[in-house]
Amino acid sequence: MVNLKYSTNYLLHDLSSQQLDQLKKKAVEAKNHSYSPYSKFRVGCCILTKDNLFVDGANVENASYGGAICAERTAAVKAVTSGQKDWLAIAISGDRIDDCTSPCGICRQFIREFASLDMPVIMLNSDGSQAVLKSFGDLLPMSFGPGSF
């Protein structure tokens, strides 16, 4: 766990403390829009774009379980379809107070399309009081993405 607020981590050098606080807050709050009657595990996500826009999303489940979409991909699709393809950071908050939630494999590959390998990924517990910080490249090493072919 890292205390992001006072972190001097190089991954966060492009973010102001206000942006970081907002990003965390919006990821935590995005869980309120989750539709998760089956897993009952709410996830919220927020992407900070280079235009300084905060684009949030939550997981949306379906009676046909395979049709569910994660919070990260919800936010990613909202960002891209709003013309926001250049991202500074992403934050994720799951519904556990004692653990931070990380993106699933499908979401990591999906995010790879738009993320630089040094983009910070901030994984939060449910209220944002705990965080794990990684570069996107650490979460998806040797990845296949744009420019790989």
Please report, in range form, the residues annotated as the binding site for substrate.
59-65
Name the amino acid, one letter, at 7: S
Say whether residue 97 binds Zn ion (CB under 5 A): no
- CA pair distance 10, 62, nearest whole angstrom: 39
Structure tokens at 10: 């190089």
Nearest-approach distance from CB 103 to Zn ion, in angstroms = 5
Q: What is the CB neighbour count within 10 angstroms for residue 2?
A: 14
In whole angstroms, the minimum distance from the beta carbon of 59 to Zn ion comes to 8
Q: List CB contacts of 13: < 8 A, sequence separation 6 or more.
A: none
The DSSP code for 146 is T
Q: What is the total count of residues that contact Zn ion (CB under 5 A)?
A: 3
Q: Name the residue nearer to Zn ion (CB basis): 1 or 104.
A: 104
Residues 1, 53, 97, 104: which binds Zn ion (CB under 5 A)? 104
72 is catalytic: yes
**Which one, 15 or 94, has the nearer CB to Zn ion?**
94
Q: Which of 11, 27, 46, 72 is catalytic?
A: 72
Residue with structure tokens 């107070």? 97
| Residue 18: partners with Cβ closer than 8 Å, 6 or more residues away | none
- 70 lies in the site for Zn ion, by CB under 5 A: yes
Q: Does 107 bind Zn ion (CB under 5 A)?
A: yes
What does the binding site for Zn ion look like in residue numbers (CB under 5 A)? 70, 104, 107
